[in-house]
Chain A
Amino acid sequence: MIPHLISIAPFGHLDFWLGVGIVAGIYAIFTLGLQLNVGFTGIVNLGQAGFMAIGAYAMAILIVNYGWSPWLALPVATLVAMLAGVIVGMPAVRLRGDYLAIATIAAAEIVQSTAQNAINLTGGNNGLLGFDAAWQTIQIWALGLLATIGLGQMDQIPLFALTWITFGALLVILFTLQHTPWGRVLRAIREDEDAAEALGKNAYAYKIQSLALAAAIGAIAGYLLALNITLIYPGTYSADFTFIGFAILVLGGLGSYSGVALGSILLWFVLEGARFIDLPLSADKVAALRLLIVGLVLVFIMALRPQGILGKREEMVLRG
């Protein structure tokens, strides 16, 4: 993707924007997990990228190293990620808010460090390839269908569709869960854990469930990310990924699942739209500029409009 001068019709580059849409969708799915944890349970999960990595690596290792079928590897890898969520959660969830944040980020760093150093298992910094054979087949079939309506050249469409359909499905599931008694207990715990406990609710168990579900959602985001870049390597699953997720979270608004989509699309529109502005900066400095923008989003939203775009003022209970 080459930077252009400010173009009158940047939207003519549909293929480019589809690519952006895929990234936005992946981040949106990732951030659904964060919303469940932060917005609806009150736990600050700074380790979401670690769960994403565990899911993606588990999937790839099962397919590539052990020859499993993807249809089996995907659910099993998701269960592995959920198990990781439980294991991390069991000690972490007992800790005070900021300690919980540190514990989760430490867990994620351990995952990333292991991915880099356990070379025999994970391929180290070279990563893993070749897990996406099944998807390639599906994609060819899908492009064949698209060709019948003249869109066979838009090779981003299948993944774009898969990503946003997945987002939609997860959105419906999470929204439904929120409106069950389970969701009600979760909301109560987020607002006042002691009150919920006094009413017979085991806050500890619910928080771990929330973390395990978020880990599963993170894993799903990880699979789509892996399909997008066709490679699984440690650098992808960094703390920065989680922080960008948080920027999306607060931009869309705490307590709003649909806000997550809005936040992600908006943020990525801004970040990628910046490519159309010709800047006298080298590529890595442009990358830094984008992250700087993310930082500013975090600071300004939290300082000036903590409920974000779609968050509700009366639902803002910010815990310390």
Chain B
Amino acid sequence: MADAIFTVRDLVKSFGGLRAVDGATFEVARGSITALIGPNGAGKTTLFNLATGFIKPDRGAIELEGHSVFGRAPHTVARRGMGRTFQITKALAAMTVLDNMMLAAPDQPAERLIGLATHAFTWRRQERAIRERAMELLERFRLASLANAYAGTLSGGQRKLLEFARLLMTRPRLVLLDEPLAGVNPVLGQQILAHVHELRTEQGITFLFIEHDMEVVMNNADSVIVMAFGKVIASGLPSEVRRDQRVIDAYLGAHAEDVA
């Protein structure tokens, strides 16, 4: 691939006797919107967890922007520019929406004790700048009126948006979305997808998302990666992949009618 922002090669992870990821290999093109699909139990979320450092891989290679992130801690991976959302939204419920957002801003010296000392007089200024940026993002996602509400009081859909907006505060280059439309009403789902496209166009952010709805994939993804039984069995354009016999076979018994 010409410009791959993210590559995985021969990645393996076993839990006890079970090979959750069994030699997965694929690339994600920079600036693309790529879908990761596959039947349940194919290893998609495990792959996300391995890529973002939440699970330690057994062997293989994981590279972001050409540098290895194999076995790195989640916070390191996040700082390198790979952000993610979670299948079950992790809005920090006991903190306000605004706090959630401001937390996510990178490069805050005042987050370190030493930094508080050295920047004793300037950190509040930085806080104001961060707050402005946070409010801008909240405006974009139409959550600004909820800035001072506890995140725990938000609806499911609002929390999804918050998690997304919060993630964008970290200025990611690659965003991994774990089933971004799960449990969300269609209108909100369309809004989320619209944001994805806008952000890709405006800022060149690459998106890799796990999705089960084939129509969404067909309509939104530039490229599709198909996983089954811990391996990548096919990848390419959505139109190619849907006709691939291996993919049809993998889905047989699950969603054959979706792919055909």
Contact = CB atoms under 8 A, between A and B. Distances in A.
Interface of A: 177, 180-182, 184-185, 187-188, 191-192, 194-204, 209, 314-315, 317
B234 interface: no
26 contacts: A181-B102, A181-B108, A181-B116, A184-B95, A187-B94, A187-B95, A188-B92, A188-B103, A191-B93, A191-B94, A192-B90, A194-B54, A194-B90, A196-B75, A197-B54, A197-B74, A198-B78, A199-B75, A199-B78, A199-B83, A199-B104, A199-B167, A199-B170, A200-B106, A201-B75, A317-B94
Interface in B72-115: 73-75, 78-79, 83-84, 86, 90, 92-95, 99, 102-104, 106, 108, 110-113, 115
Contact of A314 (B90, B94, B167): B94
Contacts of B213: none
A202 B53 CA distance: 12
A181 B110 CA distance: 6
B166 A182 contact: no
Contact of A182 (B53, B73, B75, B111): B111
Q: Chain A contact residues: over half helix, strand or loop, or mixed? A: helix
B111 A197 contact: no
A314 B152 contact: yes
Chain B, interface size: which category? Answer: 35 or more
Contacts of A191: 92-95
Given A180-B116, A181-B108, A182-B110, A202 B90 contact: no
Given A182-B110, A185-B103, A200 B75 contact: yes
Interface of B: 52-54, 73-75, 78-79, 83-84, 86, 90, 92-95, 99, 102-104, 106, 108, 110-113, 115-116, 123, 127, 150, 152, 166-167, 170
Give the 3 A-B residue pairs with the shortest CB-CB distance, closest first.
A197-B74, A195-B90, A200-B78
Given A191-B95, A194-B90, A199 B103 contact: yes
B102 A184 contact: yes
A193 to B, nearest CB: 9
A182 B116 CA distance: 8
A203 B75 contact: yes
A314 B149 CA distance: 12
